[in-house]
Amino acid sequence: MLSKIKYQDLGLLQYKEAWEFQERLFNERVNLKLFNRENPSDNPAILDDILLFVEHPHVYTLGKSGNQNNLLIKNEFLAKIQATYYHTDRGGDITYHGPGQIVGYPIFDLEHFGIHLKQYVYGIEESIILFLHDLGIQASRLEGATGVWIQAGTSRERKICALGVKGSRHITMHGFALNINTDLQYFSYINPCGFEDKGVTSLEKELGIKQDLDQLKNLLQAKIIHYFQALPIKD
């Protein structure tokens, strides 16, 4: 039987509020899974998987094992550029979120799809690669790094999508940040994902024209749901 994924666009939302919201959804699913294991039933309660899309005001987030020195500016300058900073519990190093990005937070139970975390990360990357391919952008992975890259393995390699996740009891949270109409100047204040020698790009920069963010959100969520062979749930 196909799994079901509910897609929800949260619009523009502060990072802390979105983090707390996805944490609540994550904890509900972890707690329900523990309850079902302690109370076996022929018809256990199941919560549907959720795909959240959101835009954040300017914010830098550091992964749990990231290096704080990869934030190259002081608190005073953060305030000047109207940005905030959070040390999170996801994987990965430092990245930037801001207006014009599609930030995706899949709250998935990987047991519903019969996959493990490494396959899940591959699936998210592949969904984005296929999405970009449909728009005329040839993208791929970069060996030794997560996320999605353009011209990977060349002197002109540049990252268009960052990825950092958390998993527990096969439930996922956090996710990816895909640069669409993103102000790339904000990446100059960090070593993106800990790299000092690699570029960052956006769909607007690659195609030379501002993109319709709402239309692309619809295309991307459909691509992810299709890749994971799930049924979409509408509100």
Domain at 57, CATH number? 3.30.930.10
Instruction: Choose the catalytic residue: 184, 193, 220, 224.
Output: 193
**pLDDT exceeds cutoff 70 at 49:** yes
**pLDDT exceeds cutoff 80 at 234:** no
Of the candidates 73, 94, 90, the one whose C-alpha atom is nearest the C-alpha of residue 82 is 73
- CB pairs under 8 A, 24+ apart, for 75-82? 77/189, 81/186, 81/189, 82/57, 82/58
Instruction: Confirm whether 161 is a catalytic residue.
Output: no
What's the structural domain count of the chain? 1
Give residue 45's pLDDT.
83
Please give the residue range of the domain that contains residue 188.
3-233
- The tens digit of pLDDT for each residue in 178-205 reads 999 999 999 999 987 777 678 999 999 9
Give residue 136's pLDDT.
96
pTM of structure: 0.94
Local structure of 5: helix, strand or coil:
strand
**pLDDT exceeds cutoff 90 at 214:** yes
Give residue 43's pLDDT.
84
Tokens of 61: 């987030």
- The tens digit of pLDDT for each residue in 7-32 reads 999 999 999 999 999 999 999 999 99
Q: Which alpha helices (DSSP H) does 48-98 contain, by range? A: 75-80
Give residue 138's pLDDT.
96
Residue 149's pLDDT band (boundaries 50, 70, 90)? very high
Average pLDDT over residues 217-224: 97
Structure letter (DSSP) for residue 117 = H
Report which listed range, 98-112, 142-156, 184-198, is most confident. 98-112
CB atoms near residue 107 (< 10 Å): 26
